[in-house]
Amino acid sequence: MAVLLQIDFPFSGPWGEDMAAGMEALATSIAAEPGLQWKIWTENREAGEAGGIYLFADRASAEAYLAMHRARLLGFGIAAAAFAAFAAALGQAQGDRMTIGSDGGMVTIAQSGWTLFDEDAAVHPAVVDIWHGLAEGMLVAHNRRLALEWRSRGCRAPFRFEWRLRPVEAAPF
């Protein structure tokens, strides 16, 4: 028998089309979940919540997804999703394409383009390290129990950066 599941969680944006663009990789990952028949994305700006309504083929598939979803959120806290949304909104505000995804149950953030520099520019590797350091500083201010690790980075246009958020066992201070 099919099972309907609704999940809501705190979310600070982005909203609407920006949310859809930023969550494209996550949507692809969710679509591949065993037993999932469909999902309707939900958002409530006034309440600061996002989530979804899911239809699973059976109870076991719904329970397995819910357990994975809870573990992902609890493993690094809802704060990881909130930070990813903040980082994506910041990048979009400066004109860069930002996407939020997941990898092994951890949140990823990708930046395509870097409007701070010309599209045909090359920068010294130290400049890229500083960019990463600024992102790390924002994350520590947001939640010191999360770490930001590079997945990909480049010093030449077209710029593309990708980070993964992961929990840390002990806070850095």
Provide the pLDDT for residue 59. 94
Provide the pLDDT for residue 78. 67
Q: Tell me the pLDDT of the chain (173 aa) as tens digits.
A: 999 999 887 676 778 888 888 778 778 888 999 999 999 999 988 877 788 999 999 999 999 998 887 766 655 456 677 788 888 888 888 888 888 887 766 788 989 888 888 666 888 889 889 988 999 998 888 777 788 888 888 888 888 889 988 877 654 44
Provide the pLDDT for residue 126. 92
Provide the pLDDT for residue 77. 55
Peptide bond into 34 cis (omega under 30): no
Instruction: Give pairs for 32-41: CB < 8 Å, separation 24+.
Output: 33/61, 33/65, 34/61, 34/64, 34/65, 35/60, 35/61, 35/62, 35/64, 35/65, 36/61, 36/65, 37/2
